[in-house]
Structure 1
Amino acid sequence: MNDPSPRRYDLDWIRIGAFFLLILYHVGMFYVPWDWHVKSPHPIAWLEPVMLATNPWRLSLLFLVSGAATRFMADKLAPSILAGQRTARLLPPLVFGMLIVVPPQSYYEIVEQLGFDQGYLAFYGRYLTASGNWCDADGCLITPTWNHLWFVAYLLVYTLVLAGLIAWGRPALIRLEQALARLPAWTLLLAPIVFLGLARAVLLPRFGVTHALVDDGYNHVLSFSMFLFGYLTAKSEAVRTRLIALRWPALALAVCAYLAFSLYAWTWRDAATDPAASLVLAMRFVYAVDQWGAIIAILGFGARHLNRSHPALSYLTLAVFPYYIVHQTVIVVAGHHLAQAGLPQALEAALLISLTVAACGATYEVVRRVPLLRPLFGLKPEAPAVTTAERVLPIRNG
């Protein structure tokens, strides 16, 4: 039986699931034949369509759920307090991550790709002072960098922008929220697909995806629109009801679009010529169908089946952010060294996943017990032991 309370446990579960999918995705990036920080010497071509199963929607879903969490906070706080609290929660992990957590990723990247052999201390001094001059035919490595922590930087900026909108444009936000709540179910499904397809067709060729904040126009339109949608619909029972009703049609659309886009991507992955412009344009919209259909399906099934608490939720809700902060560095370092051990690839992959989960878990268990470390990993500066106040943090509490 679903929990009848207004707590959105379903969004907590979805957030946790999306972050753990991200960990598996980055393990896959070590093996798939796409560019990444470090690579297996034995790439696995068939992983490409597997990776594409979550590529269109995974991060968009995280921004949407983050917007919903922000809504429950914003309704209890003045905009200035909201901005201050989120800055205090997100900025320390971002700075700490750029200075301590992320540098090993860049180090092993230049070791593998540029043959750097002067050791980590020599690297780190150049990393901090942006004086490495680590370049190849594709460009130069700019440091310090945030790598996978770009999500934290963008989330912080979007929260500050939203706080400004709440302070100076609350009536407009209310009208927009009311308009979304009145949308018929099929409009809720189809209109965002048109928007996402147009954004991908017009903005992606111009901007690409850089994760560099200042020149990432397509990604901002995509990610901030998802963040704002989550904020505006988090408390709408009408939208929640329509999401549940749409879950099966949305899933069918997402599966069909995924199959079509995967076939397209596989067919043209090694082609000597580019596909026709009309085909590329069509695939922009097919990608959008996959993207929004999957998000609607996940939200709908989640609202229908996951809106309930569980003893594991109290642990996972707190653990997921520290896991996210450290996971990619563990994958890069462990992947680089495991690749040199000559193990069977299946065993190597199993060890890489196991080491990543174990290292993330150990990090969280240490961090949550050390008050000075908690803010650096996105945890509130509370007592080191888990207290009653930490037991369950539903999505409405941010």
Structure 2
Amino acid sequence: MSSPPPPPARRYDLDWIRVGAFMLLILYHVGMFYVPWDYHVNSPRPVEALEPIMMLTNPWRMTLLFLVSGCATRFMADSFAVQGKGRLALAGSRTLRLLPPLLFGMFVIVPPQSYYEILEAAQAMGMSDPAHSPVLQDFWLRYATASGHWCDADGCLITPTYNHLWFVAYLLIYSLALALLLLVPGVRAGLQRIADRAFHGWGLVVWPLIYLFAIRWTLAPIFEVNHAIVGDWYNHALSFPAFLFGFLTARSEPARQTFMRLRWPALVMAVISWASWATYAWVYRDAAIPPDSLREVMRLVYAADQWAFIVAILGFGARWLNHGGPVLRYLTVGVFPFYIAHQTVTVVAGHQLAKLGMPLGLEATLLVAITALGCVLTYEVARRIGWFGLLLGVKPQPRARPVQAANRPPLPA
């Protein structure tokens, strides 16, 4: 029997999938402004029909991001090993890349989101001009010192906060946990052997699906997702194993081939699951209580939706996205500062655009365009400010030394 071909030197498909997952997340947060769901700010003209479209990515988008982040961490760890760097290099690298933007985001990027959230809440309570009232006086100082006491019937806003940057906080925690785990002799080889044996052929689909069924049945009804680290046990049980799965399968050529082989069945399963889940959520959207038996079944449908879409995306990506180029090089680095900045741009721009009363389609188009422009500007600034770019998620790149042409003397000084 011939051995499987070696994995490609670089998984461009995973780079494209990571970029695509972040872009979908940015569009999702723009959509959050228009659906009648709880968000930091909301359009006064909600579009209820957007809900099924939003649910197309809702079950799996963050799980996919953690999975491809695990893949990236694997390639990083392997690179450090080849370079002979110490075992703590991975922990140091992840801390350097994730902690500065997290802290900078909490105290600089995120505060405008909280400001407009408080402003709109105060307006909804009948206050005519909250921006010039004691409610928002000395806002940043009260935000940073957790002394705002901004409360309503739904509870109090706890600050400082990380809002959408919860993903960065969780990724940092998972990366450090993995780095510590890898310090234990034999653990990495043992985990890899288990993964190679379990995630082989149909096991690549069946075992993760059974696991998702189990946590959706047992943990999801008890632990609501809160992004607060403490008490977020269903989310941790979902996200950390996805991160580990990416780390353990990133270099597996049999896994890559299996994803490609199963991409069409997975896509069919994904579409059926999404249609079922979206219909269920639409029918019971007005606080109607579904029968317990139906609720149990839909937990399984939700889990099937999660994994089927991920398998399909990884399969089609492996089949069609194994090519690089200047666009991918730009976006691979740029998409992280895009993510850091996008929600603040959307919240501020959405609040201001809503006051103009323009046609809804034009307003939404402008909101997408302004968000995209704000993301690009953030990246362009970050890549030009040296080590300060780490605050926006960009590590300074070494400058290439000019290459002299053959048989040509250097220009005089």
Q: What's the TM-score, normalizing by structure 2?
A: 0.89
After TM superposition, list the pairs within 5 Å mapping 1:99-248 onto structure 2.
Answer: 99-115=107-123, 116-118=130-132, 122-168=138-184, 171-182=186-197, 183-248=199-264
State how far apart, in whole Å, the 2-side matches of 1:184 and 1:213 are.
32
Partner of residue 300 from structure 1, selected from 300, 306, 315:
315
Deviations, residues 297-324 of structure 1 (Å, cap 9, x unaligned): 0001111111111221111111101100
**Which residue matches 2:361?**
346
2:81 matched to 1:66?
no
Contact 2:200 2:255 in 1 (8 A): no
State how far apart, in whole Å, the 1-side matches of 2:203 and 2:182 are.
26
Identify, as 1 or 2, the structure richer in helix. Answer: 1
Contact 2:383 2:396 in 1 (8 A): no
Partner of residue 336 from structure 1, selected from 351, 360, 376:
351
State how far apart, in whole Å, the 2-side matches of 1:118 and 1:143 are.
21
State how far apart, in whole Å, the 1-side matches of 2:131 and 2:67 are.
42
2:322 matched to 1:314?
no
Distance 1:35 1:9, change over 3 A: same
Kindly provide the amino acid, as one letter, of the partner of residue 57 in structure 2: T
Contact 1:114 1:134 in 2 (8 A): no
Partner of residue 28 from structure 2, selected from 25, 30, 34:
25
**Number of residue equivalences:** 383
**Which residue matches 1:393?**
none
2:376 matched to 1:361?
yes
**Which residue matches 1:381?**
396
Contact 2:7 2:252 in 1 (8 A): no
Q: Is the partner of 2:92 in helix, strand or coil?
A: helix
Distance 1:121 1:100, change over 3 A: farther
Once the two structures are overlaid, the 10-residue window that deviates more, 328-337 or 71-80, is 71-80
Q: CA deviation at 1:68?
A: 0.5
The runs of at least 4 aligned residues of structure 1 exceeding 3 Å deviation read 118-121, 386-389
Contact 1:194 1:285 in 2 (8 A): no
Partner of residue 45 from structure 2, selected from 35, 42, 47:
42
State how far apart, in whole Å, the 1-side matches of 2:394 and 2:243 are.
21
Kindly provide the amino acid, as one letter, of the partner of residue 265 in structure 1: A
Q: What's the TM-score, normalizing by structure 1?
A: 0.93
Q: CA deviation at 1:6?
A: 1.9
Distance 1:4 1:187, change over 3 A: closer
Q: Is the partner of 1:158 in helix, strand or coil?
A: helix
Kindly provide the amino acid, as one letter, of the partner of residue 99 in structure 2: L
Q: Is the partner of 2:221 in helix, strand or coil?
A: helix
Q: CA deviation at 1:387?
A: 5.0
**Which residue matches 1:12?**
15
Kindly provide the amino acid, as one letter, of the partner of residue 266 in structure 2: A
Partner of residue 302 from structure 2, selected from 284, 287, 301:
287
State how far apart, in whole Å, the 2-side matches of 1:250 and 1:57 are.
14
**Which residue matches 1:392?**
none
Q: CA deviation at 1:4?
A: 7.7
Q: Flag the structure with larger Rg.
A: 2
Deviations, residues 226-257 of structure 1 (Å, cap 9, x unaligned): 00000000111111111111111111111110
Q: CA deviation at 1:173?
A: 3.5
Once the two structures are overlaid, the 10-residue window that deviates more, 123-132 or 104-113, is 123-132
Kindly provide the amino acid, as one letter, of the partner of residue 303 in structure 1: A
State how far apart, in whole Å, the 2-side matches of 1:125 and 1:249 are.
54
Q: Is the partner of 1:31 in helix, strand or coil?
A: coil
**Which residue matches 1:395?**
none
Q: Is the partner of 2:40 in helix, strand or coil?
A: coil
Partner of residue 59 from structure 2, selected from 53, 56, 61:
56
Q: Is the partner of 1:46 in helix, strand or coil?
A: helix
Kindly provide the amino acid, as one letter, of the partner of residue 254 in structure 1: A
Contact 1:63 1:223 in 2 (8 A): yes
Ranges in structure 1 where 5+ consecutive residues have no aligned partner: 390-398
Q: CA deviation at 1:184?
A: 4.0
State how far apart, in whole Å, the 1-side matches of 2:359 and 2:79 are.
54
State how far apart, in whole Å, the 1-side matches of 2:400 and 2:363 are.
38
Contact 1:253 1:293 in 2 (8 A): yes
State how far apart, in whole Å, the 1-side matches of 2:287 and 2:160 are.
36
Partner of residue 80 from structure 1, selected from 64, 88, 91:
88
Q: CA deviation at 1:151?
A: 0.4
Contact 1:173 1:232 in 2 (8 A): no
Once the two structures are overlaid, the 10-residue window that deviates more, 73-82 or 354-363, is 73-82
Q: CA deviation at 1:121?
A: 5.9
Kindly report the root-mean-square deviation, in angstroms, between the aligned alpha carbons of the 2 structures: 1.8
Q: CA deviation at 1:174?
A: 2.3
State how far apart, in whole Å, the 2-side matches of 1:307 and 1:123 are.
48
Deviations, residues 329-378 of structure 1 (Å, cap 9, x unaligned): 00000000000000000000000000010111112112211114311111
After TM superposition, list the pairs within 5 Å mapping 1:251-266 onto structure 2.
Answer: 251-266=267-282
Q: Is the partner of 1:357 in helix, strand or coil?
A: helix
State how far apart, in whole Å, the 1-side matches of 2:137 and 2:89 are.
40
Q: Percent identity?
A: 58
Ranges in structure 2 where 5+ consecutive residues have no aligned partner: 1-5, 81-85, 124-129, 403-413
Q: CA deviation at 1:124?
A: 1.0
State how far apart, in whole Å, the 2-side matches of 1:300 and 1:81 are.
32
Q: Is the partner of 1:204 in helix, strand or coil?
A: coil
